[in-house]
Amino acid sequence: MDNNKDKPVEFYRDKDILGFDKLDTSKLHISNKITKTKNKNPWIASVLSLFVPGLGHVYAGKVKKGIIIYLLLILTSLIIGFISFNFLLLILIVTLIVSFRLYAIVDSFLLVKRNSDLDTKLKKYYKWYVFLSIITLQIVLLNFIPKEYINRIGPINFYTIPTISMSPTLQVGDCIAIQRTKNIKQNDILVFKSPEDTSISFIFRCAATPGDSLKIKNGNTHINGKMIDNRDKLKYRYIVTTNGQPISQKTFYKYGIVNYYKMYNNTIPVFLTDKEAIEFAQINIVKNIKKRTEDINHSSELFPKSNTTWTVDNYGSIYIPKKGDKIKLTKINIGIYSSLIKLENKKYSINNSIIKIDDIVIEDYTFKSNYYFVLGDSRDNSLDSRYWGFVTEDYIIGKALYIYWSENTERIGLEIE
């Protein structure tokens, strides 16, 4: 007979009747803390991606994807400096970059939007000041990394025209692409470091290459006895006389005239091509237009300083040194080439037309580099090689390819010739 039939169910000390271990409540710690959760805002993700592509994905919890997007964008941006050899390729790459950035913005928005009804546990770096610090760091890096370091990465660099020396080919404010190369030909437009101050960049047309002889006669440039000027591309100084009414800003802008002033009796000096001068004469308030005919005598300012007979319109003849050329030094040519000898040698001195290199008197010299002679297309308004001399190939940054931006939208995309 079962005497336990009417007794209540008893539990063993360590196990219940089903054989499972009893719950030791003494070892159970119940926390009153509640894990914080917060719904994320898709618009915040979009704004973060706008400032730093991929940051919106980090905000959405997709850290790896955010890092990949950021690195891909940097890589795509760097490609600009490697393949943008013409305007169409530049447009293609820029379109790709813009599309990629839009994708990052939209994708981060949708990523959060699809999960807006779910609470996502906040991680320790999901703080507003962390994201703000990342954006600030991005801005600082973009503004403080020297552009010249970035430009050295690829063969294509970008440059903005600062002066009117190359007008009408290039106008002030034109943004151009240049190709880093040592393959320079006559008529190429070069960007190079100033021989007098290497922190400044100049842009001029290559008139003479190594081994050439240059002579300017009556304003016309001759190389090895042959005239090379394209008169349609060159500007000269004209004196315009009006009926007293002002010439409109629109007219000045049309002809690339940014600096002008009245002289006397309603006369204004301007720089125009021969063709532009004919058009300018048709303006109803213009009474007369006359091209400068007198020789500009800047002999005290021209290169070399030792020569006082050369002028802007009648200059040379002058030989452009080529690497390996050996010349006999004379009292006449020392003034022309002494600056190049000094540039090529650390220990150099000159006294009474006697040149010493490493304390040894030399009577002839062999050039170690190639040199170029450059001129501005605005011939009467250009401080070019006529004023400061030769350009060494080591200072050449590159040659101009095309205009990728200009205030005059008709010029955008033009190849530079």
Angle subtended at Cα 206 by Cα 205 and Cα 208, rounded to the nearest 5 degrees: 145
pLDDT over threshold 60, residue 145: yes
Helix (H, G, I), strand (E, B) or coil at 110: helix
Element (H, E) at 72: helix 63-83
Averaged pLDDT for residues 210-238: 93
191 bridge partner residues:
203, 398
pLDDT value of residue 107: 94
Averaged pLDDT for residues 177-185: 92
| Percentage of residues of the chain with pLDDT beyond 70 | 85
- Cα separation, 417 vs 233, in Å, equals 10
Confidence of residue 166 (pLDDT cuts 50, 70, 90): very high
Joined together, the tokens standing for residue 90 give 């530049």
Confidence of residue 389 (pLDDT cuts 50, 70, 90): very high
Tens-digit pLDDT profile for residues 303-319: 988 767 888 899 989 99
Tens-digit pLDDT profile for residues 42-71: 999 999 999 999 999 988 888 899 999 999
Question: Would you list the domain boundaries of the chain?
Answer: 37-150, 326-366
- Cα separation, 194 vs 50, in Å, equals 39
| Cβ atoms of 183 and 400 closer than 8 Å | no
pLDDT value of residue 316: 87
pLDDT over threshold 90, residue 3: no
Say which range, 1-5, 171-175, 409-413, has the weakest mean pLDDT. Answer: 1-5
pLDDT value of residue 127: 81
Burial class (CB in 10 A: 0-12, 13-18, 19+), 333: middle
pLDDT over threshold 60, residue 2: no
The residue among 346, 335, 353 whose CA lies nearest residue 390 is: 335
Per the prediction, the chain carries an average pLDDT of: 85
